[in-house]
Amino acid sequence: MQLSKKINWRQIFSLQSISYTVFGVSFAVVALQGFMIPNHFLDGGVTGVSILIEEIFHIPISILLIVFNIPFLIIGYKKIGRTFAVQSSLAVILLAVLMTVVQVPTVTNDKVLIAIFGGFLIGLGIGLVIRGGGVIDGLEVIADYTNKKSGFTTTEFILFVNSLLMLSVAYFFGIETAMYSILTYYTALKTSDYVVDGFEEFTALTIISKDHEKIKSMIVNDFGKAISVYKGERGYLPGKFDIKSDVDIVMTIVTRLEVHRIKESVSVIDPKAFFYVHSIKEVKGGLIKQIKAGH
């Protein structure tokens, strides 16, 4: 795939992009200055490394945030696109500037509150910046690059980096601080996931039932969802291996808020229905795209 060589300045300076970036960076500054840095709490990724180096060597965190994100910005420029790289650069620079000129007083010294609210605010900030089209922590992009170069998966690379980071926290600041930092990181991770994906994150629901015709009608007519149908067989149970029957395997794409209601309706039709749910990263085209665009 050939990346566009043009920078979409209209997208970069759109009201939506600027709003997400400014609010996201502001929340990150409050989290870092008001909760995490004064109490030696770390998040994962580039932000966590910057806090750790600042605590040990007393190098201004504004400089560290820029320096440690430079490899990511270069990779983003080459692998993702120039617009993305420019938006991310502006977000990182804004974060560094605000960390220098804005002073946020320490909100609390309670370790549980720091882990929860500090993690929530930094995760909210990271998520909003991503919604705006950039990032302020480049670890995942670097991890994707490492995956292609070394064979390690993105998850393995991030886990390796953050494990080293938390071990360093334990060495310099104690086991208790390291454990609270893990809680901070987890809170930030879950918050950013919700901000980026929202409650409208799509989920695939697959249903196998003897009453497949009623279930198809219910999903399409009662819930207004499109379905895909696979022709399959049900049966093959232990002790009854020879007993089998044809069945339509029904698959539909729903949001997290719709999963429970559909599962309950399926259980009313067939209490023994078999279904499984798994999250999906992207949905494109079809009826879902049309409905989403119409909101």
Q: How far apart are CA 95 and CA 114, in angstroms?
A: 20
Neighbours of 273 (CB within 10 A): 18
| 25: pLDDT strictly greater than 90 | yes
- Residues 220-252 have pLDDT tens digits of 998 888 999 999 998 888 888 888 889 999 999
Task: State what percent of residues in the chain have pLDDT above 70.
Answer: 85
- Residues 278-289 have pLDDT tens digits of 877 666 665 554
Average pLDDT, the chain: 85
- Residues 26-65 have pLDDT tens digits of 999 999 999 999 988 988 889 999 999 998 999 999 999 9
DSSP class of 275: E
pLDDT band for position 290 (cuts 50, 70, 90) = very low
Question: What SS3 class is residue 27?
Answer: helix
What are the domain boundaries of the chain?
9-197, 202-294
Say what the pLDDT of residue 211 is.
94
DSSP class of 106: -
pLDDT band for position 261 (cuts 50, 70, 90) = confident
Cα torsion 182, 107, 24, 153 to 10°: value is -10
Residue that the structure tokens 């320490």 belong to:
106
Neighbours of 46 (CB within 10 A): 24
DSSP per residue over 160-217, as a string?
A: HHHHHHHHHHHHHH-HHHHHHHHHHHHHHHHHHHHHHH-TT-EEEEEEE-TTHHHHHH
pLDDT band for position 266 (cuts 50, 70, 90) = very high
Q: How far apart are CA 30 and CA 36, in angstroms?
A: 9
In single-letter form, the type of residue at position 77 comes to Y
Q: How far apart are CA 77 and CA 292, in angstroms?
A: 30
- Residues 100-158 have pLDDT tens digits of 999 999 999 999 999 999 999 999 999 899 888 888 988 767 654 554 555 555 556 77
* Distance, C-alpha 112 to centroid of its chain: 23
Long-range CB pairs of 257-260, under 8 A, 24+ apart, other chains included:
257/199, 257/200, 258/223, 258/225, 259/203, 259/205
Q: Is the dihedral of CA 158, 163, 164, 166 positive or negative?
A: positive
pTM score of the predicted model: 0.73
Low-confidence winner among 22-26, 162-166, 281-285 (lowest mean pLDDT): 281-285
Cβ-based burial of 125 (10 A; exposed 0-12, middle 13-18, buried ≥19): buried
Q: How far apart are CA 132 and CA 128, in angstroms?
A: 6
Q: State which CATH number among 3.30.70.120, 3.50.50.60, 3.40.50.620, 3.40.720.10 fits the domain covering 202-294.
A: 3.30.70.120
Which tokens hold the place of 100? 């220098």
Which tokens hold the place of 21? 């970036």
